[in-house]
Structure 1
């Protein structure tokens, strides 16, 4: 597959594909679901046994920024940042962790690298 085909598939420019290939830039999170589907596996190194790993896996699979994840979960974006750094608790943490665990069990269709 040539860069123009990939660019069309991911709805980006061919230059963007070149930058990704040469590590000059990284794909934005909204492109992650398409990349995961194209590759047929989850290319991100995450420990999904941890709360922070579950959050990132969910965000990456769904192409969500921390801000959009926070909005969907009705929490402050700063809370998401702290949680992904392995810090903080918060009253909704147990509820969100249960949701994420259930989601990953039922929707992780690709092996994690």
Structure 2
């Protein structure tokens, strides 16, 4: 209930249940790759460490991608596309 009053944000593992309850995702459409990564990670209820292991990359790399501090390299673009469920270049 605290997140409903904007006193605390929900933990990432709670997002899948929140989405199911609401029937929609409570955030705007992603505008950047970092936004897409953050939204997909929340949709799956994954921590940064869990998402990074799935690609696999370092947690710091994942965090910088989400913030838009680093660009994706050719070596990792295919792995991220798989994570996001799209083809490379989309």
TM-score, structure 1 length as denominator? 0.66
Give a deviation string over 1:19-67, Cα, whole Å, max 9, x none.
12221111100000000010000102341x5211221121011001111
- The reply to whether residue 63 of structure 1 matches residue 45 of structure 2 is yes
Bigger fraction of residues in helix: 1
Gaps of 5+ in 1: 1-16, 104-113
Structure number with larger C-alpha Rg = 1
Q: How many matched pairs?
A: 85
TM-score (norm 2): 0.80
Aligned to 1:34: 17
Which residue of structure 1 aligns with residue 79 of structure 2? 96
Match status 1:23 vs 2:6: yes
Q: 31, 42, 52: which one pairs with 2:34?
A: 52
Distance in 2 separating the partners of 1:45 and 1:93: 26
Conserved? CA contact 2:55–2:80, under 8 Å: no
For residue 102 of structure 1, report the CA deviation from its aligned partner: 2.1
